[in-house]
A and B are shown apart, each in its own frame.
Chain A
Amino acid sequence: MSDEHFDAIVVGAGPSGNAAAYTMAKEGLKVLQLERGEYPGSKNVQGAILYASALEQIIPDFREDAPLERHVIEQRMWTMDDASHVGMHYRSNDFNEEKPNRYTIIRAQFDKWFSRKVRDAGATLLCETTVTELLRDSSGKVIGVRTDRNAGKVFADVVILAEGVNGLVGQRSGLRSEVAPDTVALAVKEMHFLPREVIESRFNLKGDEGVVIEAMGTITKGMTGTGFLYTNEESISVGIGCIVSDFAENETTPYGLLEAFKNHPSIKPLLAGSECKEYASHLIPEGGYNAIPRLVGDGWIVVGDAGQFVNAVHREGSNLAMTTGRIAGETVVWLNRRRDEMTKANLTEYTRRLEQTFVMKDMKKYRKIPDFLHGNKHVFTLYPKLFTNAAQSWFRVDGVDKRSKEKQIMSSFRKSRSILGLLGDAFKLARAWR
């Protein structure tokens, strides 16, 4: 593979790399994509919810053959303590639309499908090939990559780093610093199989309808994190994740957290009788806007998780990955057509275009959320207990009059946190949310 020269090399075949490679190959560019896994998806983990709009902009008719599990018609947001949960549910028949908005997917299958589209568009994919470093010319411009396949070198006008959250190539080539432990979450996840009729009756679904549950509270033992449970066609994805620096400080094991979550009285019946077929773990970038590294340089662009593009509040990542990948691909096509050099100055067009999209707008909107959550751990411990206790006191009919109950609830809030503390938390959250 040595002497060949490509218009672009894409490192990684996750959603960001596939979006970039597809966009460029479709426009006739000569694209080489390198993936370290045996097949695309073999190293990748997601919840997984697919947001249709980002993929629609790349492959408008994806619904015809993409491996989609269920379209989401109901979202449950749970605040949990050890015995209970308080929930906010939104279910709407409007989500049973002709072109649904969100689907559950299984990443290994989805990535294989996306990759087939990339190859059909004309890109060359080499799997089982780990990129080990960037190659530069005497001016420092990136001109290709070295791989672990017979120490092979390959050259291109531009290298798109779609290498995911660990981002070793970019980091070891000095393009960015090591990921900080307080800007990533470690998530563990299991796949539990059940007959589809059981899932449908358990979750009150018909056909391909699906439910997702997002949960927070004492389930993370005081650490910043969340749990989730998503319905697939014949399986349930269940997982939990917390910030890595919190795992460093606590004695908890990730699998212990997952077991406790699965055994929570609100979750256990949903999984009863299922067969677990896989245990997975992966990092999620959660540092937000302030953790975004440099995105372009002479001969290189960063997309997806490698650029920390995840909106942790809304649990969006793959759509930001696909959108950044697509826009990087479009920028390269545009420069290629104009016969412009892939210099840092010219590639900055990518970040200019990103600023106009929901990606940068949302990243900016929530830039203060990570700090708020790190500094306010009682969001995960105290408040869930207060909420569930208040609900219990309110709903339990025991001869105590309602005014006394109101007083009791108010005083339980005041006792555990001063009025100023309560107001302060609300104020800080509102400010971080803006």
Chain B
Amino acid sequence: MIETTHATGMKVEEKLFQNRYLVDAGRPHIKVLPHDKPSKALLALTHACPAGCYAENERGQVEITADGCMECGTCRIMTAKTGEIEWNYPRGGFGILYKFG
């Protein structure tokens, strides 16, 4: 499982809970392409994504739940060479809505 809890006990989910989103239901803006074994870069997203969107399943593949995504682009840039994910901005108006930024 993905390590989302830091030693201090703070879960990333609790952080994301404070944010405002307008989720485009049923139209995720990021997809992980089907794969047998993730590359090192794809696997690294399970800790590098600041929203903890990526997790490894029982079969060792990497999955994404993009609801908490802050659209930073880190995952796109990290896997640009391997081409394992498809990344787009959410449709205009959807996604993260920073109150302060």
Q: Who on chain A is nearest to B8 by CB?
A: A259
A251 touches B18 (CB 8 A): no
Chain A residues with Cβ below 8 Å from B52 are: 253, 255
Q: For residue B87, which residue of chain A has the nearest CB?
A: A168
Q: Report B's interface with A, CB cutoff 8 A.
A: 3-4, 6-8, 10, 12, 15-16, 18-19, 22, 40-41, 44, 47-48, 50-52, 70-74, 76-78, 80, 88-89, 91-93, 95-101
Alpha-carbon gap, A190 to B70, bound state (A)? 13
User: Most chain-A CB neighbours within 10 Å: which of B73, B93, B98?
Assistant: B98
| A36 touching B98 in the complex, CB below 8 Å, given contacts A178-B80, A255-B52, A279-B18 | no
Determine if B6 and A278 form an interchain contact, defined as CB atoms under 8 angstroms apart. Answer: no
Contact A259 B6 (CB under 8 A): yes
Q: Are A281 and B77 in contact (CB under 8 A)?
A: no
Contact B72–A281 (Cβ < 8 Å): yes
Partner of A36, one of B15, B19, B72, B92: B92
Minimal beta-carbon separation of B67 from chain A (angstroms):
14
Q: Does A88 contact B (CB under 8 A)?
A: no
Nearest-CB residue, chain A, relative to B92: A128
Give bound CA distance, A181 to B4, whole Å: 23
- In the A-B complex, the 4 residue pairs with the closest CB atoms: A128-B93, A279-B15, A281-B50, A107-B101
**Chain B neighbourhood of A279, CB < 8 A:** 15-16, 18-19
A247 to B76, CA, bound (A): 14
Contacts of A84 in B (CB 8 A): none
Contact with B along A287-316 (1 / 0, CB 8 A): 000000000000000000000000000000
Give the residues in chain A near B40, CB-CB below 8 Å: 248
CB proximity of A127 to chain B, nearest CB, Å: 7
For the complex formed, measure the closest distance between the CB of B9 and the CB atoms of chain A, giving whole angstroms: 9
Given contacts A248-B44, A280-B70, A283-B72, contact A42 B77 (CB under 8 A): no
B98 and A248 contacting across the interface, CB-CB below 8 Å: no
Query: Given A37-B93, A127-B93, A281-B70 in contact, is the A186-B50 Cβ separation under 8 Å?
Result: yes
Given contacts A128-B93, A282-B72, A283-B72, contact A256 B6 (CB under 8 A): yes
Q: Which residues of B sit under 8 angstroms from A43, Cβ to Cβ?
A: 71, 95-96, 98, 101
Q: Which of A42, A179, A190, A282 contacts B15 (CB 8 A)?
A: A190
Q: Is A89 positioned at the interface, with any CB of B under 8 Å from its CB?
A: no
CB-based nearest B residue for A42: B97
Q: Which residues of A contact B12 (CB under 8 A)?
A: 253, 255
* A156 on interface, CB distance cutoff 8 Å: no
CA distance A260 to B10 in the complex (A): 10
Asked if A130 CB lies within 8 Å of chain B CBs, one says yes
B50 with A108: CB separation less than 8 A: no
Instruction: Decide if A276 is an interface residue (CB 8 Å cutoff).
Output: yes
Q: What are 30 of the A-B contact pairs (CB < 8 Å)?
A: A36-B92, A42-B98, A42-B101, A106-B101, A108-B98, A108-B100, A127-B92, A128-B93, A165-B73, A178-B80, A179-B73, A179-B77, A181-B77, A186-B74, A190-B15, A244-B77, A249-B44, A253-B4, A253-B6, A254-B50, A255-B12, A255-B52, A259-B8, A263-B8, A276-B18, A279-B16, A281-B50, A281-B70, A283-B72, A283-B74
User: Within the complex, which residue of B8, B48, B88, B101 is in contact with A108, where a contact is CB–CB below 8 Å?
Assistant: B101
| Chain A residues whose CB sits within 8 angstroms of the CB of B16 once the complex forms | 279
Given A36-B92, A168-B89, A181-B77: A253 and B100 interface contact (C-beta under 8 Å): no
How extensive is the interface on chain A, given as a class? 35 or more
Q: Which residue of B lies closest to A149 (CB)?
A: B92
- Give complex CA distance A278, B70 in Å: 12
Residue on B with the closest CB to A190? Answer: B15
How distant is A361 from chain B, measured CB to nearest CB, in Å?
A: 28
- How far apart sit A196 and B44, CA to CA, in the bound complex (Å)? 41
Partner of B98, one of A45, A148, A235, A252: A45
**Smallest CB gap from B70: residue in A:** A281
Q: Which of A24-55 contact B (CB under 8 A)?
A: 36-38, 41-46, 48
Q: Contacts A36-B92, A43-B71 given; 13 further ones with Cβ under 8 A?
A: A127-B92, A179-B77, A247-B78, A252-B47, A255-B52, A256-B6, A278-B19, A278-B100, A279-B15, A280-B101, A282-B72, A283-B74, A283-B77
**Are B97 and A38 interface neighbours, CB within 8 A?**
yes
Q: Which residues of A contact B3 (CB under 8 A)?
A: 253
**Is A166 at the interface (CB under 8 A from chain B)?**
yes
A177 (CB) vs chain B CBs: closest residue:
B80
Residue of A nearest to B43 (CB): A248
Q: Is the CB of A148 within 8 A of B92?
A: yes
Residue of B nearest to A46 (CB): B101
Smallest CB–CB gap between A101 and chain B, Å? 23
What distance in Å separates the Cβ of A394 from its nearest Cβ neighbour in chain B? 32
* Given A186-B72, A280-B98, A283-B72, residue A254 in contact with residue B89 (CB < 8 A): no
Given A253-B6, A283-B74, A41 and B101 contact (CB-CB distance below 8 Å) = yes
Report whether B101 and A44 are in contact in the complex, using a CB–CB cutoff of 8 Å.
yes
B73 CB contact (under 8 Å) in A180, A280, A283: A283
In A83-121, which residues have CB < 8 Å from any B CB?
A: 106-109, 111
